[in-house]
């Protein structure tokens, strides 16, 4: 395995951090995950600029030092030779880490047939600083592990009122009443880069998207449901377990091949 850290390309799976490093003690890092198309950082779907902007804005918000982006890009160019997905992690002191991984082996099956998701109720699964991708992702990680114990592939995070926010790894999309719905950023979720890309695509196609909280009544009317992130693009859901606070309906089944989903997928079609 190859990775790039603090200006150097390394092989293996270990990096050295001191025992008092804030990244180790508090998860004091910010990161972004991007899918590289055609082995090119400048490919429009790779969207390197948007990912760099995400990191820069987070670093500025936290008053952390900014890395040498030219150097980070060089590291990314080296790592992408072997991987389709890159994770760029920035530390408070200007260090940066670039790691890579491959696409999920069953991604095509997930995109075609959909997945099961589990609604993660309770304070245990809340994500701190939800507008930023920080190294402290414990709540989302715990939710994902619990979802797998329930036989689901993804977890759906909720607010204190039980309204759906996002999944443990992406943003939510629901089709009802002839239009797409996605929770708005004001409710406390991550402004996903894939989410913005899809929104821009739908706007160019003349489609309206309702960006508002999802009350339980709306969820029960969804004809299609999916999540998105830069790595998986769009993955539909065929089953949602435990989807209401009151527990009056513990299983929701949805068509993972609804024709409306093509509008989301089309955002990632290359011209």
For residue 186, what are its two tokens?
A: 């004001």
pLDDT of residue 250: 75
- Domain of 118: which CATH number? 3.20.10.10
pTM above 0.85, yes or no: yes
Question: Do 39 and 125 reside in the same domain of the chain?
Answer: no
Q: What is the DSSP string of 100-113?
A: EEPPPTTHHHHHHH
**57: three-class secondary structure by DSSP:** helix
Question: Do 65 and 160 reside in the same domain of the chain?
Answer: no
Question: Do 192 and 221 reside in the same domain of the chain?
Answer: yes
Q: Provide the sign of the torsion angle of the four alpha carbons 135, 160, 164, 122, taken in this order.
A: positive
For residue 260, what are its two tokens?
A: 């409306």
Buried b (16+ CB within 10 A) or exposed e, 172-183: bbbbbeeebbbb
CB 262 within 8 Å of CB 111 = no
Question: Do 116 and 185 reside in the same domain of the chain?
Answer: yes
CA 80, chain centre distance (Å): 19
For residue 271, what are its two tokens?
A: 């011209």
Residue range 229-241, pLDDT digits in tens: 999 999 999 999 9
pLDDT of residue 247: 46
Q: Name residue 160's beta-bridge partners.
A: none
pLDDT of residue 188: 84
pLDDT of residue 271: 54
Question: Do 97 and 111 reside in the same domain of the chain?
Answer: no
- Domain region containing 6: 2-101
Which residue ranges of the chain lie beneath pLDDT 70?
Answer: 243-249, 271
Q: Within the chain, where are the H helices? A: 22-26, 48-61, 69-79, 107-113, 138-149, 193-204, 216-219, 261-265
Residue range 164-211, pLDDT digits in tens: 999 999 999 999 989 999 999 887 899 999 999 999 999 999 999 999
Question: Do 134 and 238 reside in the same domain of the chain?
Answer: yes
Q: Tally the domains of the chain.
A: 2
pLDDT of residue 160: 86
């Amino acid at each position: 395995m190859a990775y790039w850290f603090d200006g150097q390309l390394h092989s293996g799976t270990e990096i050295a951090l001191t025992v008092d490093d804030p990244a180790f003690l508090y998860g004091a890092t910010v990161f972004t995950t991007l899918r590289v198309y055609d082995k090119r950082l400048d490919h429009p779907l790779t969207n390197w600029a948007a990912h760099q902007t995400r990191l820069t804005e987070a670093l500025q918000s936290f008053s952390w030092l900014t890395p040498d982006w030219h150097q980070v890009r060089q590291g990314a160019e080296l790592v992408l030779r072997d991987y389709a997905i890159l994770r760029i992690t920035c530390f408070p002191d200007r260090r940066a880490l670039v790691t890579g991984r491959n696409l999920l082996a069953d991604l095509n099956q997930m995109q075609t047939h959909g997945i099961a998701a589990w609604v993660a109720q309770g304070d245990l699964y809340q994500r701190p600083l939800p507008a930023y991708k920080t190294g402290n992702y414990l709540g989302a990680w715990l939710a994902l592990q619990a979802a797998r114990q329930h036989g689901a592939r993804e977890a759906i995070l909720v607010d204190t009122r039980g309204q759906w926010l996002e999944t443990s790894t992406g943003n939510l999309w629901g089709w009802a009443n002839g239009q797409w719905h996605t929770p708005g950023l004001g409710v406390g979720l991550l402004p996903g880069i894939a989410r913005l890309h899809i929104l821009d695509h739908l706007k160019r196609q003349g489609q309206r998207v309702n960006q508002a909280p999802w009350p339980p009544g709306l969820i029960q009317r969804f004809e299609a449901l999916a999540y998105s992130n830069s790595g998986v693009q769009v993955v539909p859901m065929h089953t949602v377990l435990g989807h209401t606070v009151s527990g009056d309906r513990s299983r929701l089944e949805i068509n993972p091949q609804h024709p409306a989903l093509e509008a989301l997928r089309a955002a990632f079609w290359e011209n």
